[in-house]
Amino acid sequence: MNLKQISCAFALMASLSASAQQHVMDVNTKKLGAPVSSTMYGLFFEDINYAADGGLYAELVKNRSFEFPNPYTGWDISGKVTLMNDGPFDKNPHYVRLAPSGHRDKHTMIENHGFFGMGVKGGEEYRFSIWARVPDGGNAKLWIDLVDNATMGDDQKLGNASVDVSGKEWKKYTAILKPNRTFAKAHLRVWGDSHVTTDVEHVSLFPVNTYKGRENGMRQDLAKALEDLHPGVFRFPGGCIVEGTDLATRYQWKNTVGPVENRPLNENRWHYTFTNRYFPDYFQTYGLGFFEFFQLCEDFGCEPLPVLSVGLACQFQNGDDAHAKMDELQPFIDDCLDLIEFANGPADSKWGKVRADMGHPAPFNMKYLGIGNEQWDTPYYERLKPFVKAVREKYPNIKIVGTSGPDSEGAMFEKGWVAMKDQKADLVDEHFYRNEEWFLGKAKDRDGNKLNCGALRYDSYDRKGPKVFAGEYACHGRGKKWNHYETSIYEAAFMTGIERNADIVEMATYAPLFAHVEGWQWRPDMIWYDNLRTFNSVSYYVQQMYAMNKGTNVLSLTTKDPADAKGKKTIPVAGQDVLDGLHATAVYEKSTNEVIIKVVNTSMQDQPIKINLLDMKGERTAQTITLKHAGSPNDENTLDNPQMIRPENGTLACSATGKKQQTELNDRVPRLSFRIYKIKK
Ligand code: AHR
């Protein structure tokens, strides 16, 4: 550095420290405010970005029942392989016939590629299963190989097994494969007996080590990542997938329960939306279906929030004639009523029995039902009415979640809220994928009017109407920035407003949840993975920090309004320009008797703060959890560097001041950071 550069650097430092004035906040630790709903922070699951098949659902075989429109999608076939159509499962009737090749040096074989290959770990066990029969009677053998096709010679084989098939009846056969090394792109080969014709169906391979060890289970690492978020609510199955590309491809929960072999295939609503895949292969086997969703909710100790079709196909993609007419709605309404019976009904009721037969005689105790995803205007409002009537009549305790549509403000959004109030929806599902300005409360409409956005958004909401479900949101950075550190900090800032308004906001779920690095069509997303590895985005950690520190009651946290010359008026700490981009909120947690304060610094300079803990006395130690990053605001976690940015624990001494020895917290909040302080009361 030359002299001129050094003096410039000093000048810059001086100007930074001059502008970083201390902000003083008061927390009223005595008066408990509104309860924070136990459902406040949760999960939004949708099968987008290969979130279910190829993602959370641990099945490694793609097109296991040969039901894709091209029945051999995902398969290589060799020799005498014939597609048949009268199999043992009426909703998935296809299977393949493996006939002898007719020559000792030829073979009949099928080989599955998995989803972007199959990720297998050396030394771990994988459960192979297959339905098979010998159509002419007698015995046959099937050889099973797990292979690495990139390697030649003996090293190609990662593991092998065989099953002995006998008789003309369809039966399920299983074998354990134990790969000798880890490989992300394995294939599964099934060889027919060279002398006997053998029929095979529902070819499946799962890790034995699934989440909770279930045979039809979930990927251990991904399910654990969800559990570690400590969700209070779990919304499923979407998203637009509820509506489908058209009505025919909407999500129909009844097709997703019962034996997995007989859950009919559905074309995924996101099938046609890949920019890099002109021949997509995105289907839903429903192996992860409604039973499994409810089971996960039970595992995580959170409330299930299923969302069902209101009889509208996706309004973005379809004209008026694509929807169910008003006099065609009864089957859709029945789907809602039957779902409540499936989840909550006695084990001897029609749908309760389906649940009991799947191994869960006890009810799932479902309390919420979403009707319609991102619907808008009269076609939605008029259809919703008979649903509300029917559910209210039969199940008055179920809370109904309506929607304000895809906009976060504007005429249609307002109209949606009015309609939801009229129909007395319990909650309104709002969606906002918006940019940095919006999350920081600075966005304007085309006419230059300030939008109701950022951390102050909910301060002005009508307290007498339905509650808010912020059902899908994420900060989408300008300039194609995704999941980068800075936008996650802005999400944290916005969420102070959710927490401060816990009297009106009952739940909030970031979206979308999952993305496979080789098969995504939407970003940012909360959790990313390939076939073997996973990483949590910074947004994940923001969500986790809130969910694990949500508290039981809001506490008032204010600062003096710098614009008020008399110095009497107080305002929430919500990052107005005068507060130098600081956002803060406070809650009380009954079980631990702690005051929990969250402070987000969205500015690019460290900020000195003082927090007066009114009605608390004496010196104390605050536990701190900090999300900060010394590198670029554009950095993000990756598969190769999954822990680059994550929360760190620490402590901070709080002093006691004045005659009353009031507890006082002094800190310097790092630039662009999110810090939580927990102080025993
Ligand atoms: O989360 C992705 C999509 O965004 C959802 O399917 C839809 O509800 C919204 O438009």
DSSP one-letter string for 511-567: S--EEETTS-SS---SEEE-SS-EEE-HHHHHHHHHHTT--SEEE-EEEE-TT-TTS
Neighbours of 638 (CB within 10 A): 13
Point out the ligand 1 atom lying closest to the alpha carbon of residue 522: 2
For residue 10, the model assigns a pLDDT of 41
Place 278 in a pLDDT band, splitting at 50, 70 and 90: low
Q: Which of 24-38, 266-280, 333-347, 480-494 shows the lowest mean pLDDT across its residues?
A: 266-280
Q: Which amino acid is at 144?
A: I
- Ligand 1 pocket: which of 49, 235, 310, 433 to mutate (most atoms within 8 A of CB): 433
Query: Ligand 1 center to residue 260 CA distance, Å?
Result: 27
Residue 194 CA to chain centroid, in angstroms? 47
For residue 12, the model assigns a pLDDT of 44
∠ CA 418-424-429, rounded to 5°: 65
- Give the burial class of 10: count Cβ atoms within 10 A of its Cβ; 0-12 exposed, 13-18 middle, 19 or more buried: exposed
Token pair in block for residue 445: 């409409």
Determine phi and psi for 468, rounding to 5 degrees.
Answer: -100, 135
For residue 18, the model assigns a pLDDT of 46
Segment 460-515, tens digit of pLDDT: 999 999 999 999 999 999 987 889 999 999 999 999 999 999 999 999 999 999 99
Contact in structure between 375 and 315 (CB atoms under 8 Å):
yes
Contact in structure between 81 and 96 (CB atoms under 8 Å):
yes
* Residue 275 pLDDT greater than 90, yes or no: no
Q: Indicate if the alpha-carbon torsion angle 285, 291, 297, 300 is positive or negative.
A: negative
Would you tell me the crossing angle of helices 350-357 and 330-344 to the nearest 10 degrees?
Answer: 50
Segment 582-616, tens digit of pLDDT: 999 999 999 999 999 999 999 999 999 999 999 99
- Ligand 1 pocket: which of 43, 44, 235, 240 to mutate (most atoms within 8 A of CB): 240
Give, using CA atoms, the residue closest to atom 1 of ligand 1: 512
* Percentage of the chain modeled with pLDDT above 70: 97
- Ligand 1 pocket: which of 522, 525, 539 to mutate (most atoms within 8 A of CB): 522
Closest CA to 342 of 295, 387, 392: 295
Determine the average pLDDT of the residues in 618-625.
98
For residue 19, the model assigns a pLDDT of 57
Segment 543-596, tens digit of pLDDT: 999 999 999 999 999 999 988 999 899 999 999 888 999 999 999 999 999 999
* Residue 248 pLDDT greater than 90, yes or no: yes
Segment 112-152, tens digit of pLDDT: 999 999 999 999 999 999 999 999 999 999 999 999 999 98
* Residue 17 pLDDT greater than 60, yes or no: no
Closest CA to 230 of 4, 465, 41, 429: 41
Determine the average pLDDT of the residues in 379-401.
98
* 529 vs 17, higher pLDDT: 529
Point out the ligand 1 atom lying closest to the alpha carbon of residue 241: 6
Point out the ligand 1 atom lying closest to the alpha carbon of residue 238: 6
* Residue 5 pLDDT greater than 60, yes or no: no
Give, using CA atoms, the residue closest to atom 4 of ligand 1: 239
**Rg of the Cα trace of the chain?**
28
Segment 252-274, tens digit of pLDDT: 999 999 999 999 999 999 999 88
Determine the average pLDDT of the residues in 650-656.
98
Give, using CA atoms, the residue closest to atom 5 of ligand 1: 239
* 216 vs 19, higher pLDDT: 216
DSSP three-state, residue 484:
coil
Residue given tokens 């399910």 in the structure block: 223
Determine the average pLDDT of the residues in 221-228.
98
Mean model confidence pLDDT for the chain:
95
Point out the ligand 1 atom lying closest to the alpha carbon of residue 511: 1
Determine the average pLDDT of the residues in 641-660.
97
Give, using CA atoms, the residue closest to atom 9 of ligand 1: 239
Distance CA 483, CA 324 (A): 38
Query: Ligand 1 center to residue 348 CA distance, Å?
Result: 37
Place 154 in a pLDDT band, splitting at 50, 70 and 90: confident
Distance CA 184, CA 146 (A): 12
Query: Ligand 1 center to residue 547 CA distance, Å?
Result: 22
For residue 332, the model assigns a pLDDT of 98
Report, as residue numbers or ranges, the catalytic residues. Answer: 374
Contact in structure between 387 and 336 (CB atoms under 8 Å):
yes
Contact in structure between 303 and 39 (CB atoms under 8 Å):
yes
Query: Ligand 1 center to residue 347 CA distance, Å?
Result: 35
Q: Which protein residues are within 6 Å of ligand 1, measured from CB?
A: 46, 48, 238-240, 373-374, 406, 431, 472, 511-512, 522
Query: Ligand 1 center to residue 244 CA distance, Å?
Result: 12
From the DSSP assignment, how many helices (H) and strands (E) are in the chain?
10, 35
For residue 3, the model assigns a pLDDT of 45
For residue 16, the model assigns a pLDDT of 45
Query: Ligand 1 center to residue 277 CA distance, Å?
Result: 20
pTM of the model: 0.96
Determine phi and psi for 674, rounding to 5 degrees.
Answer: -130, 120
- Ligand 1 pocket: which of 43, 44, 45, 46 to mutate (most atoms within 8 A of CB): 46
